[in-house]
Amino acid sequence: MIATAVSPPTRPIAGSALHVPDDRARERELVLSAQRGSREAFAELVRAYQRRAYAVARAIVLDHHDAEDAVQDGFLHAYRALARFRPGEPFGAWLHRIVANAALDLQRRRKVRTAVTLPETIALPFRDPAESDELRRRLSAALERLTERQRSVIVLHDVEGFRHAEIGEMLGIPEGTARSDLHHARATLRRLLSDTRSDS
C-alpha cells in the first residue's frame, strides 16, 4: 500500500526543465513495493521517470514517436526485470540503461527496415537567414551527418546534462569514447552551422 506520493522532483537537470526525484528512501520504498507486486508503486515510478526516460530515448532515436515507443518498451522491460533490480542502487540509472537499450534496439530495427541513404552534403538551400526556424531546420539536417553515437552523446550531454560516465554506461561505451564523441559532434555541428544565424 502506497501512502504518499513520490517526493516532488527537486534537482533540476542542467539546462533542462526536467527533474529527477532526490528522495532515495522514498524511491527505494516504491521499488520494494513494486517488487512485491504493487502496480500503484510502479505507476509512481513511471510518473517520476517518464520525462527523463523520454529524453534519453529521444537523444538516441531523435524521432518523437520512436522515442515514445522506446520509453514504453523500456518501462515494460524494466517491469519484467524488476525482481533482478537491487533496491539500494539508483533506480534512474538502471532504468535509463534499459530505455537506452530499447531505443538502440528500435533504431537498429528501423535501420534494417528503411535503409535510408544519407546524402553526401546537406542539400537544404540557405534561405532567408532571418527565418526564425532556419537554425532548427538546418540543425535537423546537420544531426543526420553525425554518427548515431555522436548524436546521442551530444544530446545526452549538452541538452540533458548527463555526465560522460553516465552516458558511457547508458550507451555501453567507455567514458573516454563519450568525451571523444562529444568533441567531434560539437565540432561537426559548429562547422556545418557556421553560416547560419537565428533570430533567437
Q: Give the interface with another protein as residue ranges (CB under 8 A).
A: 15-18, 39, 42-43, 46-47, 50-51, 54-55, 58-59, 62, 64, 68, 71-72, 75-76, 79-80, 135-136, 139-140, 154-155, 158-159, 179-180, 182-184, 186-187, 189-190, 193, 198, 200
Judge whether 53 and 71 are in contact, CB under 8 Å: yes
Closest distance to another protein from the beta carbon of 104 (Å): 17
- Whichever of 29 and 59 has its CB closer to another protein, that residue is 59
User: Could you give the CA distance from residue 66 to residue 103 in angstroms, rounded to a whole number?
Assistant: 8
Closest distance to another protein from the beta carbon of 79 (Å): 5
User: Could you give the CA distance from residue 81 to residue 139 in angstroms, rounded to a whole number?
Assistant: 37
Residue 56's CB is within 10 A of a number of other CB atoms, namely 33
User: Could you give the CA distance from residue 81 to residue 76 in angstroms, rounded to a whole number?
Assistant: 9
In the block, cell 504493487 appears at 38
Closest distance to another protein from the beta carbon of 130 (Å): 15
Closest distance to another protein from the beta carbon of 140 (Å): 6
Per DSSP, the three-state class of 19 is strand
- Whichever of 34 and 112 has its CB closer to another protein, that residue is 34
